[in-house]
Structure 1
Amino acid sequence: MDSRQRDIAVISNGSANAATMDLIAEEPLSIRVQGAPYAVTMRTPGDEKAHVAGFCLAEGIVDTPDDITGLAFCDGEDTNVVTVTLTATRRLNVADHLDRRTYISQTSCGICGKTIVEDLVQSLSPVDDEPPMDGKRALECLLRLSDYQPLRVKTRAAHGAAIYDRNFAMLSAAEDVGRHNALDKAIGRLFLDDRLNRAKLLTLSSRISYELVQKAARARIPVVLAISRPTALAVQLAEALNMTLASLGKDDSLMIYCTPQRLIWPN
């Protein structure tokens, strides 16, 4: 993870004092697929290959690590450009998808929340029903999220994501200036290590938007807990995909918005 030191002036009670502060780094990451530009995202430098792998999984460019034959920096010293090379079969399967000119922006006029959910549910399958998890231990994981956010402690400007298995062992954690990027990095590490099937619980520092639900659904993570509340559209999508969404409430309570039966509270 990356930060930059900056000399600043602190004004207090009318007096100015010099100080040094760590600021979180933010740089563009260009993602290229088959040598062609696909997307540019602003992110905190670090874990670029995991970031791109998680991004490609969320976008539907790949389904398994075997769809990727190459994941490399365009220049050995330039970590701001990563190229993904797909198998010949996968290239054929996602040829239309890679032509981003066929995309309709989901923020365009005439596109409503209902349409977004209907389109995403058609492209994603609901997560499987599984034995319930201990809700108290899941909440404890959410409350410990800051333990895996050293960059936030240093800069007070980083989002975090941590992923756990059914036994609440931490599998992967990541930080980034962007909440989407943090999740892509955490998922991407497990995806490249072929351990994503063990992911059962996701904790987030941010609010839950529908895009984060989409990423978790692509990763087949059934339970998502966050410090901040979800949007109405995120809950609508999660409910349609048989996912459990919850956020932190007052006095360390847990507010569950959909599919509450996946969390139980043993005496």
Structure 2
Amino acid sequence: MKQLTVLFQGKKERTFEQLDLIKEEPLSIRVQGRPYVVVMRTPGDEMAHVAGFCLAEGILDSPEDIGTIASCEGETTNVVTLTVTPARLGAITHVLDRRGFVSQTACGICGKVLVEDLSQMVRVLPDGPAVDLEKAYQCLESLKGLQPLYQQTRTTHAAAVYTSAFELLSVAEDVGRHNALDKAIGKLFLNGTLHRAGVLILSSRISYEMVQKAARAKIPFILASSAATALAVELADSLNMTLASPSRRSGIQVYCGHRRVAAPVG
């Protein structure tokens, strides 16, 4: 956190005040000692961030794929290096050559090609248990209560991961919505509890990148505060995922994966 003296101009007053600003710094992610990608993020949860990011990229499939994950010796936490096991390295040569596909999509690629390529990295998810939309919405409504940095700065996004029975498993904040999701997923990936995840709650819109990250984590249900993009719905539908957001009317709009939504009782 950084403090800044700002000018506050009201209708009848003019004062100088101290304001807390969230930090935004680069994180260089290296794989096998080579630079892979640099992301701008809120400092904190670096190991979880890298683990979640590398899961989404297809570099990792399970915690057992990790050889080492650590800040570079003599460096700050702005540089983290991941090494994978020899067995995993042989399976991801094409991924490392691609570099940052999810986070840095090349110009000119069309949505259809993107969905087809991403679908090769993710298996279609099973139907699984039905989700209670009312309980999911309650989680969305309470999300800001899980965001101390947002309360202080009004700057961060958040991602919260629940079981299908709405037990909170993980939550993370960051200036970037992608980073918050990587951190929330990465925490569970590293502690071996990601298999319990069933519901994802987001403070942002649902873009195709968010669907990709959730799909790689095998989280089938996403409820977000803002709407989904057309490409996100296309990708999610191809993977048997459920996307939803609050409607302009009173209620929830479900874009795809309707079979996973429990019918209202009464």
TM range (shorter): over 0.9
What displacement does 1:159 show?
A: 0.3
Q: Which stretches in structure 2 are left out of the alignment for 5+ residues?
A: none
**After superposition, what is the alpha-carbon deviation per residue over 1:186-228, rounded to whole angstroms, capped at 9, x for unaligned?**
0000000110000000000000000000000000001000000
What displacement does 1:14 show?
A: 6.8
CA distance 1:102–1:218, change in 2 (3 Å):
closer
Partner in structure 2 of residue 266 of structure 1: 265
**After superposition, what is the alpha-carbon deviation per residue over 1:27-75, rounded to whole angstroms, capped at 9, x for unaligned?**
0000011111111000000000000000000000010000001010003
2:51 aligned to 50, 53, 60, which one?
A: 53
Partner in structure 2 of residue 248 of structure 1: 246
- Structure 1: distance between partners of 2:211 and 2:98: 22
What displacement does 1:107 show?
A: 4.2
- Give the letter for the 1:189 counterpart: K
Q: Which stretches in structure 1 are left out of the alignment for 5+ residues?
A: none
Partner in structure 2 of residue 201 of structure 1: 199
CA distance 1:137–1:200, change in 2 (3 Å):
same
Matched, 1:156 2:154: yes
Partner in structure 2 of residue 71 of structure 1: 69
Partner in structure 1 of residue 134 of structure 2: 136
- Structure 2: distance between partners of 1:127 and 1:92: 26
- Structure 2: distance between partners of 1:197 and 1:65: 12
| Percent of matched pairs sharing the same residue | 54
- Give the letter for the 2:69 counterpart: L
Partner in structure 1 of residue 6 of structure 2: 8
Partner in structure 1 of residue 107 of structure 2: 108
- Structure 2: distance between partners of 1:57 and 1:168: 23
Question: Secondary structure in 1 aligned to 2:72?
Answer: strand
- Give the letter for the 1:222 counterpart: P
- Structure 2: distance between partners of 1:32 and 1:140: 39
- Structure 2: distance between partners of 1:88 and 1:40: 24
- Structure 1: distance between partners of 2:39 and 2:234: 27
- Structure 2: distance between partners of 1:191 and 1:40: 21
Note if contact 1:223-1:243 (Cα within 8 Å) is conserved in structure 2: yes
Note if contact 1:38-1:100 (Cα within 8 Å) is conserved in structure 2: no
CA distance 1:115–1:91, change in 2 (3 Å):
same
**After superposition, what is the alpha-carbon deviation per residue over 1:47-104, rounded to whole angstroms, capped at 9, x for unaligned?**
0000000000000001000000101000366110001011011111112221247969
| Structure with more of its chain in strand, by fraction | 1
Aligned residues, how many? 264
Partner in structure 1 of residue 89 of structure 2: 91
Q: What TM-score does the superposition give when structure 2 sets the normalisation length?
A: 0.95
Root-mean-square deviation (CA, aligned residues, Å) is 1.7
- Structure 2: distance between partners of 1:248 and 1:107: 32
- Structure 2: distance between partners of 1:216 and 1:101: 19
- Structure 1: distance between partners of 2:24 and 2:100: 30
Question: Secondary structure in 1 aligned to 2:134?
Answer: helix
CA distance 1:148–1:258, change in 2 (3 Å):
same
Question: Secondary structure in 2 aligned to 1:79?
Answer: coil
Note if contact 2:28-2:80 (Cα within 8 Å) is conserved in structure 1: yes
- Give the letter for the 1:31 counterpart: I
